[in-house]
Amino acid sequence: MFYHSLADDHAAAAFPEVTSMLTQLNEEDSQALYYATVLICLSSFARDPTPGNLLIVAEEGEVPWWALMRGVRMVVNTVGINRILAETSDALLTGTSTWNDRALKPVASEPEELQWEKPLEQVADLVAEMLAPDEKTYYAALGHLQERYRLIFSSPETPSVDNGKAPTIVFAWLFVLEEDFIVSVENRHPVALLLLAYYGVLLRRLEHYWFMAGWSRQIVTGVSRLLSPQYTHLLQWPMDQVGLLQAADELQL
């Protein structure tokens, strides 16, 4: 609880100043702003969210995480991630400290198989049934989501990503979302809500980070409250993956 409160205080203190700096973004400040916006995004995960917080939308009075992510996007789109990372590398190499201990072995995760193809195919069928081919917002979100699943939940023949790369792969889906998709979630469009729920399963992969604990259930539970009953059968798989069905069964015992 202490760390949750501390993260909340830090994010609240930094947000107004960083927001002001973003209006005057320049190359000189870009590196500092990039890391400031990233840290605000990460610290916001440690806050205790309201029941209606779905990362990309939130209840009145609460800043959705996606709004914070737009700060990161603004910096990256203006300066370019390669330049930001290159300057970071240069800054680190100017130090004089040395590390004498043996190099740590890279942490690698075991391949994790998940039978996700068929459930997501059912959602893809709904997309094709409900939407015209030129409604690219949903098709793009679906395609990016499927690619995240392929990278995170690999087959035995495909090496799994190591723990260091998993956050980048998972958060990339949020990074590329279009404004129209956010509006669709706000308007409770069933396709947008279902895609968000399936994204919640990916967040489970990051819950070994203390500040990410509980977010997979937060997303899937929030979607279940908004989704029209005629589509809830498509929500069974994500609910099962994040442990909500098991929890419900235990309550009934």
How many beta carbons lie within 10 A of that of residue 153, not counting itself? 20
Instruction: Give the single-character DSSP code of 217.
Output: H
| Residue in 64, 42, 82 with CA at minimum distance from that of residue 167 | 42
Which residues have CB under 8 Å from 19's CB, separation 6+? 71
Give yes or no for residue 21 having a pLDDT over 90: no
| Pairwise CA distance, residues 227 & 73, whole Å | 29
Average pLDDT over residues 54-72: 78
Q: Domain residues of the chain, as ranges? A: 2-93, 117-252
Mean per-residue pLDDT over the chain, rounded: 80
Q: pLDDT digit string (tens) for 132-147? A: 888 899 999 999 999 9
- In this prediction, residue 88 carries a pLDDT of 62
| Pairwise CA distance, residues 217 & 199, whole Å | 11
Give yes or no for residue 94 having a pLDDT over 70: no
| Pairwise CA distance, residues 160 & 191, whole Å | 29
Q: pLDDT digit string (tens) for 183-241? A: 999 999 999 999 999 999 999 999 988 889 999 999 999 999 999 999 999 999 999 99
Give yes or no for residue 127 having a pLDDT over 80: yes
| Pairwise CA distance, residues 239 & 236, whole Å | 5
**63 φ, ψ to 5°?**
-80, 120
**According to the 3-state scheme, what is the secondary structure of 108-176?**
CCCCCCCCCHHHHHHHHHHHHHHCCCCCHHHHHHHHHHHHHHHHHCCCCCCCCCCCCCHHHHHHHHHHC
| Pairwise CA distance, residues 155 & 25, whole Å | 43
- In this prediction, residue 247 carries a pLDDT of 57
pTM of the model: 0.80
